[in-house]
Chains A and B, each alone.
Chain A
């Protein structure tokens, strides 16, 4: 299979404006004849649906939530980057472009990153117009703060709830189109299969979560914006019901999956205590501006933190990275924390956490300053743990947070299935092997507000496939396949609830394919996933609840997809014999324990093709760097 990213020829810097000039258009009067199916109501899905409906297309939007406003974009705390240089501190489109390519450790396309930086400013304009109450200065202009991985202040924010405010703005734009009759909202639906005919995406099979009915939705084009797959690790910072099923079902229908092993593990999360704990809550990266990370020098030190004298504390990030200190990028901080906990220095239950200490900051700046800066985060920490971070250090540990990998898309955001576009975290796009803070919201909105609304109509203009009927053999076959799958799961008469199996999968995956990976660990992970798959097939407990609402069935369907996805992540991590960004292979590190990229062999995107016999094929898309030459990242 030849992977053509459809990059515009010529210079990277103005590639997007040249590309847009040449995109085919559809006349306003004809647009309402086209039916678009959007899956997901987060920043990318809701903004794409609103934008395309405003142009005059007929859009149907599917979400598993009861309301589009619940999508997990709502939980993003920190902010959204844009190269506006409002602070006059030297920012520019070029700088944001370079930071993104470097931050991703040279595993993303230059053209895509450049386009993202170019669009970033318009996103802020649009969001302000839609009524996002961004933070302001006294003079009324927009306020900015700085984030990890950059030396300028380019992050726009709405307190610690930037994702919420951006999501509400685009959902409101969406609801305006629902009222106008141009968007049909279909909540409470799980996507269970993609319908393809003659290799082209034609619709989806969904299960109505309340009635249990299987539905056939057909369209001229399908836009998938169903989010990332961090919950394959069982516990992550994602919402509990976030899942990988829409993405995985599209993959099984022919959409290649790119760089599935590129997953971000965020260093500052509230660690797990009880085995029944359902999720890990993120504590914003901004805390590391004032908090100092430390562990006892002596392994196995059981003393309370205030009884460990200064001389017996190891402020290991400050020690190892004197120039960046506690503000090293996420992947570096997570790796060092895991190593020291593995060597017995960890604190808290089972030695699985590290201290984030504000004592010195409070002494130096006063409690009021710290409270003004982080009050809501401190309150959240206190609520969850019952401990007071003003008096004793926070206990934190890394947790899966974001997935850079996702369905492969070309420059137009189209997957390897013609007519299937993939937006937001669900695609692999611009973050390479590691995403920078405050860049996820930027990418989701760039895709949904501006890129897909230009490229989707262009594809429709040139591909006039009629919408197939619901009785079409392709629809009937897909529907029957879903029905049989549910019957198969229902016929199991085992003893293990899906939740129990999912915990086992999460535990083995975080161990073998988490912060640090080795060939031996990945191989044993593959064997364990296979064994777990056999348990799932033979020992799943899935009784009929006697009512159509069936969260256990939903969990079983999702788990089956997670088991296959986990297998692919392990294969991808094993095949990528280098360390880059968040992907750290123990075999490929410098003497000081830093990641060693192998550009000669691995300067490419790995895109996997699904095969029914369980032997996926790895394809490659070579990356070319013309504006910025790959260098080693150093934070020491």
Chain B
């Protein structure tokens, strides 16, 4: 492997306490970082330094640190989840950056995502979208034998692709209208592409789209930024699909 054995980064981080009406950017220089560290591990190290210096550590959401739980996410130099496509923030490694680079870290900004603190926002509105209909309405214990319902291989694969959304909210953050269209369209496609999800498809679609408005998400403006930043690379064609089905 080539590249420097250690590097320095300047992190310009949005700081805003929960009880503060507005925030500000604070600069931190981190030196002697191994390129094998992840960006979040560099933030961990910064937080240890702040703690020892008697300052308040940076608050950010994270958990699995392997790109599947959907907890992490913030803007890096204006890009949701940073410069590498098809990844979450926790899957960025310092070798993806250059020595001396300046990174500005800011939280997702959307009306439906109120700020919690620093880099963390409240994304419970996404769960409320699912509550409106993002499920198959069958009670546990009443399922028929699994192979009684054949599902074509390609159909199952397409459904899976849509179902792989991790609910991180990057699509909303990247959208100029802060729309959750990709999130909703992915859930509709996941369930509608399977025979067991079909019976209640029209009601599900209507209710989830209505809920999107009441939760304060904007309308889709066909900018397709959502798909470009999606860590699971969910295609924007699913939004067209949603609109086509809705107008039928």
Known contacts A65-B63, A130-B136, A239-B63: A274-B37 contact under CB 8 Å: yes
CA distance A158 to B54 in the complex (A): 47
In the bound complex, residues from chain B placing their C-beta under 8 Å from that of A592 are none
Query: How far does the Cβ of A140 sit from chain B's closest Cβ, in whole Å?
Result: 3
B71 touches A86 (CB 8 A): no
Query: How far does the Cβ of A340 sit from chain B's closest Cβ, in whole Å?
Result: 24
Known contacts A75-B68, A141-B150, A547-B18: A133-B143 contact under CB 8 Å: no
Cβ < 8 Å to A, chain B residues 195-238: 196-197
B63 touches A386 (CB 8 A): no
CA distance A47 to B126 in the complex (A): 20
A67 touches B152 (CB 8 A): no
Closest to B86 in A: A379
Known contacts A70-B71, A131-B136, A276-B44: A136-B151 contact under CB 8 Å: yes
Known contacts A175-B131, A386-B1, A497-B48: A547-B56 contact under CB 8 Å: yes
A545 touches B35 (CB 8 A): no
Known contacts A50-B140, A172-B130: A74-B69 contact under CB 8 Å: yes
Report A58-101 CB contacts with B as 1/0, cut-off 8 Å. 00000001111110101100000000101000000000000000
A129 touches B196 (CB 8 A): yes
Interface residue from B34, B48, B64 paired with A274 (Cβ < 8 Å): B34
In the bound complex, residues from chain A placing their C-beta under 8 Å from that of B156 are 133-136
The verdict on B38 contacting chain A, using a C-beta distance below 8 Å, is yes
Known contacts A277-B37, A497-B52: A72-B19 contact under CB 8 Å: no
The verdict on A9 contacting chain B, using a C-beta distance below 8 Å, is no
A72 touches B69 (CB 8 A): yes
Interface size class of B (residues with CB under 8 A): 35 or more
CA distance A79 to B164 in the complex (A): 15
A128 touches B63 (CB 8 A): no
The verdict on B22 contacting chain A, using a C-beta distance below 8 Å, is no
In the bound complex, residues from chain A placing their C-beta under 8 Å from that of B42 are 276
Query: How far does the Cβ of A70 sit from chain B's closest Cβ, in whole Å?
Result: 5
Report B141-163 CB contacts with A as 1/0, cut-off 8 Å. 11111110111110111011001
Known contacts A50-B140, A383-B87, A547-B56: A67-B124 contact under CB 8 Å: yes
The verdict on A273 contacting chain B, using a C-beta distance below 8 Å, is yes
The verdict on B139 contacting chain A, using a C-beta distance below 8 Å, is yes
Query: How far does the Cβ of A242 sit from chain B's closest Cβ, in whole Å?
Result: 8
In the bound complex, residues from chain B placing their C-beta under 8 Å from that of A185 are 127
B64 touches A384 (CB 8 A): no
The verdict on B190 contacting chain A, using a C-beta distance below 8 Å, is yes
CA distance A437 to B108 in the complex (A): 38
The segment from B75-83, B115-123, B173-181, B239-247 found at the interface with A is: B115-123
Known contacts A241-B63, A541-B52, A545-B56: A385-B36 contact under CB 8 Å: yes
The segment from A160-168, A198-206, A331-339 found at the interface with B is: A160-168
A47 touches B143 (CB 8 A): no
In the bound complex, residues from chain A placing their C-beta under 8 Å from that of B194 are 131, 133
Query: How far does the Cβ of B69 sit from chain A's closest Cβ, in whole Å?
Result: 5
CA distance A133 to B139 in the complex (A): 18
Cβ < 8 Å to A, chain B residues 34-65: 34-38, 40-42, 44-45, 48, 51-52, 54, 56-57, 59, 61-65
CA distance A595 to B153 in the complex (A): 44
Report A122-152 CB contacts with B as 1/0, cut-off 8 Å. 1011111111011111111110000000000
CA distance A74 to B35 in the complex (A): 28
Report A490-526 CB contacts with B as 1/0, cut-off 8 Å. 0000000101100000000000000000000000000
B151 touches A547 (CB 8 A): no
The verdict on B191 contacting chain A, using a C-beta distance below 8 Å, is yes
In the bound complex, residues from chain B placing their C-beta under 8 Å from that of A130 are 135-136, 138, 143, 196
A66-B122, A383-B93, A546-B17 known; 13 other A-B pairs, CB under 8 Å?
A51-B140, A70-B64, A70-B71, A86-B147, A126-B141, A131-B163, A133-B156, A172-B136, A173-B140, A176-B131, A179-B131, A277-B36, A549-B117
- 14 A–B contacts from the bound complex (CB under 8 Å): A66-B61, A67-B124, A69-B167, A70-B64, A130-B138, A136-B156, A140-B152, A142-B146, A172-B130, A172-B136, A239-B64, A274-B41, A500-B48, A541-B52
The 5 closest A-B pairs by CB, nearest first: A140-B150, A129-B143, A172-B135, A133-B160, A179-B131
